[in-house]
């Protein structure tokens, strides 16, 4: 696939910085520059896209973000790069030319994004199962039109599958009444890493970009000729140090997503509210719930919403919901939304597959900032496209849109800024412009990592797919394992390919907190919150060493990251599946069986078991286990946190497991296997199984 119009990017010289400058250097640039041409507020996909578009046109550019790059909506998407199949359907049914143009634009941007960041994105086939004969030609025509609108940017042609072929490709699909299926192609990406790649590319081209830089107020100057006030910069605060200073600019761009109206009211306290926030919840389940390379689209859920069911990072991602919400820095996935998604998944999967609540490994909520165009006559109509608004004082706001079209949104915004503020700049040059890591990446790059550095193949593939041609820099930092193989690359947790060297490298990529590391430099928090919590102490230790954190700072980072996992990544929902108020609904025969198992550990008939009891049983079958690990295993079930597991707590656990509310309990698996092996004296597996929420 070759993009048209790539000559714009070819006009650019090489980036001014071989590597992005440090955060400290960027802050000094912000402080010491008398005036920028453009100051962008917001470090999501759109804000970073604006900074990259501006700096590559030769404009002196700054970007500030209150939290971390991609900390909001841009890291909490469905991970799709898509044109919008359902928007095309609406465009045709309602003869809506605007919807059609939006799909056409998104399909061009989809092709561009796959081209400029090939390491972070790839085409993904998505199956649309059909359960009524009349739907087959209806959906087929719609999907073929999708291909047709894409034109030369079509990834691969869609096709029809018979019932038997559909089940071959997606064996866990509900087969009753299945007529066949249609498969079409969209793109998929690692959203937070993509956002970061845009920010790093802008920094390499000379933009002064700084995360954890909050805008306290907008600066204004009065035009001596007209007497009108114009926005001329912002008063900023370094969140990490508390230092405040002014950043002056000819033009200020508001690209703050859900917080659009907050900045607009800094400019004009009477500004009308244009953002209509909508919460989208996603869940992550084990990879065995979906084929490795085939997604699923449910076009008509029980309440009319669309649900995607997609393989992602060797897991399965399902979502999204679409419900009105309040704007917050810390959106929390609700149990109702999680159960809604699970119920829809059950409708599409075979009854042979038990969809368990306990198999939810992570869950998150993202706020989609739908907008009402302030210049529209019909103020009630919510725009599905983006809106560029210029206030009387010259503040430029870019709002709405979607991930896929971030680049064209940025281009439109900078075009408007150039016109409104008489800036001297050329045309946009971001079509075909490789993002950091993409230029020298190839599908076989990981083989060189294995051969040159002695990394595991899985780790090498992960590094190549995350950092592209910068993966070699991470490999150079990797620690020696002391094993025959792999030679280097100590993992943070056993079941994921993230290695300790990525923590060190993540700091070079502007990671400032443990949350940055577990959620956006690596994606552990989005894949499995228990694994993320397990990796936290080591991550904090490594970051503390690099950033000179004292013990109190390390404790603070651990506590903040655990709260993030608990509230924002679904750990709270997990804990609510097993509380001291949980019902015990077991058959009498089951209760007797579990009591016998419990008493094999509680040999003294105390009514509870401790670490000492578990160690005694393990010694009987010749197993040694670290005391800290045993403490973690018991703590998962110790509801009243008194250092011991009572019989009642154990029965609650087994009841929750039977109902599917909890899965992969290490204590339950350990006790069952120990019981089976007490006489045989065979080693027992104790690794976490799935680690469900």
CATH (domain of 655):
1.10.238.10
According to DSSP, residue 434 is labeled P
554 and 601 fall within a common domain: no
- Tokens for 76, please give them: 């909490």
Read off the pLDDT of residues 634-684 as tens digits, 9 standing for 90 and up.
887 877 778 888 888 888 888 888 877 787 788 888 888 887 776 565 444
Residues of 61-82 as b/e, b for ≥16 C-beta within 10 angstroms?
bbbbbbbbbbbbbbbbbbbbbb
Handedness of CA 213, 216, 218, 219 (dihedral sign): negative
Phi, psi of 199 (to 5 degrees): -65, -45
Which of the listed residues 529, 550, 575 is the one where a domain comes to its end?
575
496 and 565 fall within a common domain: yes
List helix spans (H) across 268-397.
Answer: 335-348
561 and 453 fall within a common domain: yes
Residue 561 resides in a domain: yes
- Tokens for 321, please give them: 């919901």
Length of the chain as a residue count: 693
Domain CATH code at residue 202: 3.50.50.60
* 3-state DSSP assignment of residue 378: coil
CB 199 within 8 A of CB 140: no
Phi, psi of 185 (to 5 degrees): -120, 135
380 and 526 fall within a common domain: no
Residue 127 resides in a domain: yes
Residue numbers of the chain with a pLDDT score lower than 70: 1-11, 13, 303-304, 375-384, 574-582, 678-693
The whole-angstrom separation of Cα 384 and Cα 102 is 8
The whole-angstrom separation of Cα 144 and Cα 140 is 6
590 and 649 fall within a common domain: yes
Bridge partner residues of 254 (DSSP):
41, 397
CB 232 within 8 A of CB 249: yes
Residue 660 resides in a domain: yes
CB 444 within 8 A of CB 469: no
612 and 488 fall within a common domain: no
Q: What is the DSSP string of 302-316?
A: TTS--EEEEEETTEE
571 and 539 fall within a common domain: yes
Residue 334 C-alpha from the chain's centroid: 17
The whole-angstrom separation of Cα 565 and Cα 569 is 5
Residue 550 resides in a domain: yes
Domain that holds residue 454: 444-575
pLDDT at 430: 97
CB 166 within 8 A of CB 173: yes
Which of the listed residues 368, 391, 407 is the one where a domain comes to its end?
368
416 and 316 fall within a common domain: no
Count: domains in the chain: 4
Phi, psi of 653 (to 5 degrees): -60, -50
Q: How far is CA 505 from CA 471, 498, 499, 538, 608, in A?
A: 10, 12, 10, 15, 46
562 and 462 fall within a common domain: yes
pLDDT at 4: 38
109 CB-near residues (< 8 Å, 6+ apart): 81, 404, 405, 406, 407, 408
Task: List the one residue out of 203, 412, 161 whose CA is nearest residue 291.
Answer: 161
**Torsion angle, CA of 448/454/455/456, rounded to 10 degrees?**
100
pLDDT at 577: 66
470 and 533 fall within a common domain: yes
Residue 93 resides in a domain: no
Domain CATH code at residue 306: 3.30.9.10
* 3-state DSSP assignment of residue 220: strand
Residues of 112-135 as b/e, b for ≥16 C-beta within 10 angstroms?
bbbbbbbbbbebbbbbbbbeeeeb
The whole-angstrom separation of Cα 662 and Cα 242 is 43
Which of the listed residues 421, 453, 482 is the one where a domain comes to its end?
421
Q: How far is CA 179 from CA 138, 145, 166, in A?
A: 13, 21, 9
pLDDT at 92: 75
517 CB-near residues (< 8 Å, 6+ apart): 503, 506, 511, 539, 543
Bridge partner residues of 354 (DSSP):
none
641 and 557 fall within a common domain: no
Q: Model's pTM, two decimal places?
A: 0.88
The whole-angstrom separation of Cα 254 and Cα 388 is 10
534 and 615 fall within a common domain: no
pLDDT at 375: 67
């Amino acid at each position: 696939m070759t993009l048209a119009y790539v000559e714009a990017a070819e006009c650019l010289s090489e980036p001014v910085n071989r590597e992005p400058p440090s955060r400290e250097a960027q802050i000094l640039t912000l402080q010491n520059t008398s005036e920028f041409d453009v100051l962008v507020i917001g470090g999501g996909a759109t804000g970073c896209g604006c900074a990259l578009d501006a700096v590559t046109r030769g404009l002196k550019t700054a970007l500030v973000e209150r939290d971390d790059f991609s900390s909001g909506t841009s890291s909490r998407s469905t991970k799709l790069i898509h044109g919008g199949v359902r928007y095309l359907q609406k465009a045709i049914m309602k003869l809506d030319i605007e919807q059609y143009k939006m799909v056409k634009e998104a399909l061009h941007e989809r092709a561009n994004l796959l081209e400029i960041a090939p390491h972070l994105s790839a085409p993904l086939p998505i199956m649309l199962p059909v359960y009524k004969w009349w739907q087959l030609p209806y959906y087929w025509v719609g999907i073929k039109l999708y291909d047709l609108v894409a034109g030369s940017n079509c990834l691969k042609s869609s096709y029809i599958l018979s019932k038997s072929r559909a089940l071959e490709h997606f064996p866990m699909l509900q087969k009753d009444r299945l007529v066949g299926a249609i498969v079409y192609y969209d793109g998929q990406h690692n959203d937070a890493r993509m956002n970061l790649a845009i920010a790093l590319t802008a920094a390499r081209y000379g933009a002064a970009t700084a995360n954890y830089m909050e805008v306290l107020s907008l600066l204004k100057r009065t035009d001596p000729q007209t007497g009108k006030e114009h926005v001329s910069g912002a008063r900023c605060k370094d969140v990490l140090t508390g230092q405040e200073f002014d950043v002056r600019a000819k033009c200020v761009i508001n690209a703050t997503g859900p917080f659009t109206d907050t900045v607009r009211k800094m400019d004009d306290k009477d500004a009308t509210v244009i953002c209509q926030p909508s919460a989208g919840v996603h869940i992550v389940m084990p990879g065995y719930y979906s084929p490795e390379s085939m997604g699923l689209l449910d076009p008509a859920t029980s309440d009319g919403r669309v649900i995607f069911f997609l393989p992602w990072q060797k897991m399965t991602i399902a979502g999204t919901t679409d419900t009105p919400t309040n704007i917050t820095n810390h959106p929390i996935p609700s149990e109702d939304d999680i159960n809604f998604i699970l119920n829809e998944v059950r409708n599409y999967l075979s009854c042979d597959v038990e969809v368990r609540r306990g198999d939810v490994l992570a869950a998150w909520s993202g706020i989609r900032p739908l907008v009402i165009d302030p210049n529209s006559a019909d103020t009630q109509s919510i725009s599905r496209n983006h809106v560029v608004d210029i206030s009387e004082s010259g503040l430029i706001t870019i709002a709405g849109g979607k991930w896929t079209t971030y680049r064209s949104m940025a281009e439109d915004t900078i075009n408007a800024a150039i016109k409104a503020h008489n800036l001297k700049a050329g045309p946009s040059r971001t079509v075909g412009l490789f993002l950091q890591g993409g230029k020298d990446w190839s599908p076989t790059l990981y083989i060189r990592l294995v051969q040159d550095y002695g990394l595991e193949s899985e780790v090498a593939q992960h590094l190549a797919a995350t950092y592209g041609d910068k993966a070699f820099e991470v490999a150079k930092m990797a620690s020696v394992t002391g094993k025959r193989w792999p030679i280097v690359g100590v993992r943070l947790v056993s079941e994921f390919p993230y290695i300790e060297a990525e923590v060190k490298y993540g700091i070079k990529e502007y990671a400032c907190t443990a949350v940055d590391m577990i959620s956006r430099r690596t994606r552990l928090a989005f894949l499995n919150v228990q694994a993320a919590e397990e990796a936290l102490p080591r991550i904090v230790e490594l970051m503390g060493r690099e950033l000179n954190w004292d013990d109190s700072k390390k404790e603070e980072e651990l506590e903040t990251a655990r709260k993030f996992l608990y509230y924002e990544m679904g750990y709270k929902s997990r804990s609510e599946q097993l509380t001291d108020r949980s019902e015990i609904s077991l058959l009498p025969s089951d209760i007797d069986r579990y009591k016998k198992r419990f008493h094999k550990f509680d040999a003294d008939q105390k009514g509870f078991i401790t670490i000492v009891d578990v160690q005694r049983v393990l010694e009987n079958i010749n197993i040694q286990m670290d005391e800290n690990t045993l403490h973690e295993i018991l703590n998962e079930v110790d509801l009243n946190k008194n250092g011991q597991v009572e019989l009642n707590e154990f029965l609650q656990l087994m009841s929750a497991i039977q109902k599917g509310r909890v899965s992969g309990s290490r204590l339950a698996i350990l006790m069952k296997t120990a019981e089976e092996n007490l006489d045989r004296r065979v080693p027992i597996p104790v690794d976490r199984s799935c680690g469900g929420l």
